[in-house]
Amino acid sequence: MANLKGKKVVVTGGAMGIGLAVCKRLVREECDVTIWDLNQEAIETALKELSGEGGKVFGYTCDVSDKESVKELADQARQDMGQVDILINNAGFVRHGMFWEQPVENAIRQMEVNVNALFYSIHEFLPEMMERDSGHIVNVSSGVAFSSAPGLAAYTTSKWAVWGMTDVLRLEVLNAGKKGVKFTSVHPGNILSGMFEGFALNAFGTLFAPPVKDHDVIAKGIVESGLKKDRHLVVRPRRLYFSMMIRGLVPDVFMGKLALMAGLGNCVSKYKGRKGLAHSDAAAE
């Protein structure tokens, strides 16, 4: 099991939700942590909460979909911490509603924050990890990467892309002979509070994907399973693994019917998250 003490970490979307829960665990492991988030007020609150818990903590306002901002703050992270051993791409953006009922800008913004931003951050830190043959990149995907969710078309698309990106980069690094550089894809199910409050399946669906009680369940999976045990996949709740198995065994026509039987067709009917034209306000997932 890997020892995290003294590791230098960048967490995007680190001031709220899963990101903040991860930061709390990392500072208790005596890591130095840099938070990137768009919400300056949340950053200040997080820094106060995390101070004195363990390692040093830094916080900067960052639009992760802005390549120049990522580059500038990557340099700042190196200046503050010396190097970056772990990158956790957690920042996410969502707008719900049927695809044809929304401005196409909603879909584009979700791809910019959830996918393009990972290109920028990984491209900044991966080369130096390769050179050292040491490092770990964690990308937060979603449970909807296993089973599509009507009403979240662009978000689902982006999270499938995150999973695919993580998997192919892991193989590229292995092919290059760099066994010390690790990749983890994280797949949270429905968390009862925060960004996806109100997202729900029916009674049949919750048998396969019960809701997650809080963000720390995912944070624990990232730190204890992903970082310490080098797991390629972190899935919470673990029952979501059945979705992967069923998809591989069941014909698509039946898979679609099962998904609708589980309540995915109405999963956002009571959703309390954000709806409408996307602005530059990517939130922590």
For 128: left if phi > 0, alpha if psi spans -120 to 50, otherwise beta; the answer is alpha
Residue 271 has pLDDT above 60, yes or no: no
Cβ count within 10 A of residue 112: 19
* Matching residue, tokens 């204890």: 224
Q: Which of 225, 224, 212, 179 is nearest to 285 (CA)?
A: 212
Domain interval for residue 89? 8-284
For 211: left if phi > 0, alpha if psi spans -120 to 50, otherwise beta; the answer is beta
CA–centroid distance for 231 within its chain: 15
Residue 49 has pLDDT above 90, yes or no: yes
Span 98-123, pLDDT tens digits: 899 999 999 999 999 999 999 999 99
The reply to whether 54 falls in a domain is: yes
Give the Cα-Cα-Cα angle 47, 51, 89 (nearest 5 degrees): 50
The reply to whether 256 falls in a domain is: yes
Residue 281 has pLDDT above 50, yes or no: no
Q: Which of 171, 167, 179, 84 is nearest to 133 (CA)?
A: 179
The reply to whether 1 falls in a domain is: no
Span 197-226, pLDDT tens digits: 555 556 655 656 667 789 999 999 999 999
DSSP 71-101: HHHHHHHHHHHSS-SEEEE-EE----S-GGG
Please give the mean pLDDT across all residues of the chain. 87
The reply to whether 49 falls in a domain is: yes
| Model pLDDT, residue 256 | 67
What CATH number does the domain containing 59 carry? Answer: 3.40.50.720
| Model pLDDT, residue 180 | 98
User: Distance between CA atoms of 137 and 179, rounded to whole angstroms?
Assistant: 13
Span 139-196, pLDDT tens digits: 999 988 987 778 889 999 999 999 999 999 999 999 999 999 999 999 998 775 656 6
Number of domains in the chain: 1
The reply to whether 3 falls in a domain is: no
| Model pLDDT, residue 213 | 81
The question of whether 155 is a catalytic residue gets the answer yes
* 280 band by pLDDT with thresholds 50, 70 and 90: very low
